[in-house]
């Protein structure tokens, strides 16, 4: 059964030597693709078919980048043409063991035939089920902290490039990348809508610029909040200026 809930994400994973190598070679775009691969593995019980073209299509990225991340940084391994990751398998095994222990404990309590315990177990199970059903929704709320971006996600939840949009929002809110919010970016009056992101992402592709790197540079500019009102307009101005 595929895992559709949340999984743990080490807050200091960016400091790992292998991840540092990945970021050095491929930037934060590569880092985002890496976590997308991790999500795929968790969703499929720790293994997926080793087919870089199909994986690239699923993640809406280039085949060569998927192949580079899988083969060049010792973050994944292959077994019987299946892609996996040792740390993911370890965590899944640990979680399964905990689940088995809980099931055994529950059977023991039920076998005693004590009515009060049975009733308490039912309430406990119902509470856990509600929490798990909400797990995926809460995953979004961990890194989206204002109504503007919540509404953008809801309005465009079925759009093709929503995953890429979410990666940029994770960067802005410090969930991935620099592990700190891009505070100057967040102070701009006009934040980044989904449609503005699509146009800006295409412009960055055209200029051979990584959008994540561009946003970090903008955030580090001391005069960003003095002269600019919006993320999209400022980013386009930077791209046009640097092209001259």
Measuring CA to CA, which residue among 178, 185, 173 is closest to residue 224? 185
Give the count of domains, the chain.
2
Provide the percentage of residues in the chain whose pLDDT is more than 70. 77
- Which pLDDT does position 200 carry in this prediction? 94
Q: Say yes or no: 193 and 108 in one domain.
A: no
| Rounded Cα gap, residues 50 and 63, in angstroms | 12
The pLDDT tens digits of the residues spanning 29-65 come to 999 999 999 999 998 989 999 999 999 998 999 999 9
On the question of pLDDT at 219 being above 50, the answer is yes
The pLDDT tens digits of the residues spanning 160-212 come to 888 899 989 988 888 876 568 899 999 999 999 999 999 999 999 988 999 99
From 121, 139, 157, give the residue that closes a domain. 139
From 123, 139, 155, give the residue that closes a domain. 139
CA–CA distance from 187 to each of 14, 128, 212 (Å)?
25, 38, 17
Q: Say yes or no: 125 and 220 in one domain.
A: no
Three-state secondary structure of 99-163: HHHHHHHHHHHHHCCCHHHHHHHHHHHHHHHHHHHCHHHHHHHCCCCCHHHHHHHHHCCCCCCHH
- Which pLDDT does position 49 carry in this prediction? 93
Q: Say yes or no: 68 and 170 in one domain.
A: no
Instruction: Determine contact, residues 240/201, Cβ cutoff 8 Å.
Output: no
From 87, 109, 139, give the residue that closes a domain. 139
- Which pLDDT does position 142 carry in this prediction? 43
Instruction: Determine contact, residues 209/44, Cβ cutoff 8 Å.
Output: no
Q: Say yes or no: 133 and 102 in one domain.
A: yes
Three-state secondary structure of the chain: CCCCCCCCCCCCHHHCHHHHHHHHHHHHHHHHHHHHHHHHHHHCCCCEECCHHHHHHHHCCCHHHHHHHHHHCCCCEEECCEEECHHHHHHHHHHHHHHHHHHHHHHHHHHCCCHHHHHHHHHHHHHHHHHHHCHHHHHHHCCCCCHHHHHHHHHCCCCCCHHHHHHHHHHHCCCCCCCCCCHHHHHCCECCCHHHHHHHHHHHHHHCCCHHHHHHHHHHCCCHHHHCCEHHHHHHHHHHHHCC
Q: pTM score, two decimals?
A: 0.43
Q: Which domain holds residue 193?
A: 143-242
Q: Say yes or no: 118 and 132 in one domain.
A: yes
The pLDDT tens digits of the residues spanning 96-142 come to 788 787 887 777 777 665 555 556 566 666 666 666 655 544 444 44
- Which pLDDT does position 106 carry in this prediction? 74
Q: Say yes or no: 106 and 196 in one domain.
A: no
């Amino acid at each position: 059964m595929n895992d559709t809930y949340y999984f743990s994400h080490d807050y200091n994973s960016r400091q790992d030597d292998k991840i540092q190598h990945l970021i050095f070679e491929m930037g934060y775009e590569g880092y985002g693709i890496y976590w997308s691969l991790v999500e795929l593995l968790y969703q499929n019980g720790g293994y997926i078919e080793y087919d870089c073209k199909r994986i690239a299509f699923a993640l809406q990225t280039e085949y060569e980048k998927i192949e580079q991340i899988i083969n060049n940084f010792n973050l994944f391994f292959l077994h019987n043409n299946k892609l996996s990751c040792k740390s993911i398998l370890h965590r899944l095994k640990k979680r399964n063991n905990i689940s088995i222990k809980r099931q055994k404990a529950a059977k023991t309590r039920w076998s005693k035939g004590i009515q009060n315990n049975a009733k308490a177990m039912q309430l406990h199970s119902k509470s856990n089920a509600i929490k798990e059903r909400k797990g995926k929704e809460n995953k979004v709320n961990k890194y989206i902290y204002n109504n503007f971006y919540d509404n953008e996600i809801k309005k465009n939840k079925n759009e093709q490039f929503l995953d890429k949009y979410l990666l940029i929002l994770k960067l802005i809110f410090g969930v991935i990348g620099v592990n700190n919010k891009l505070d100057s970016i967040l102070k701009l009056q006009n934040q980044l809508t989904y449609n503005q992101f699509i146009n800006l992402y295409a412009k960055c592709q055209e200029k051979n610029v990584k959008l994540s790197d561009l946003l970090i540079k903008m955030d580090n500019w001391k005069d960003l909040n003095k002269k600019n009102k919006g993320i999209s307009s400022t980013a386009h101005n930077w791209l046009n200026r640097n092209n001259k």
